[in-house]
Amino acid sequence: MKQMVQIPYELEQEEDGTWGAHASFPSGGAHGVGDTPEEAVADLYEAVSLVIEEFGVPPVLTIVQDVA
């Protein structure tokens, strides 16, 4: 069973022109970087997926639905 988790994040352009996406929660956080906003969010998605795989869904995040 897969679950969809809603994760708030911040997206900002760095001084060097790259993009950073950051998600924080009490048990840690995750960061993604990329040349475009879409690449940064995709990288963040991978990082958050690893955190969830290792530690489970942090209790402060919202499980939106079960996905088949």
Q: Is residue 13 part of a domain?
A: yes
- The whole-model pTM stands at 0.76
Q: Which domain holds residue 23?
A: 2-59
| Span 49-67, pLDDT tens digits | 888 888 777 666 655 554 4
How confident is the model at residue 67, as a pLDDT?
46
Q: Is residue 65 part of a domain?
A: no
Q: Is residue 68 part of a domain?
A: no
Q: Is residue 67 part of a domain?
A: no
Q: Is residue 51 part of a domain?
A: yes
Burial 1-13 (b: 16+ CB within 10 A, else e): eeeeeebebeeee
Q: Provide the domain count of the chain.
A: 1
| CATH number for 55 | 3.30.160.20
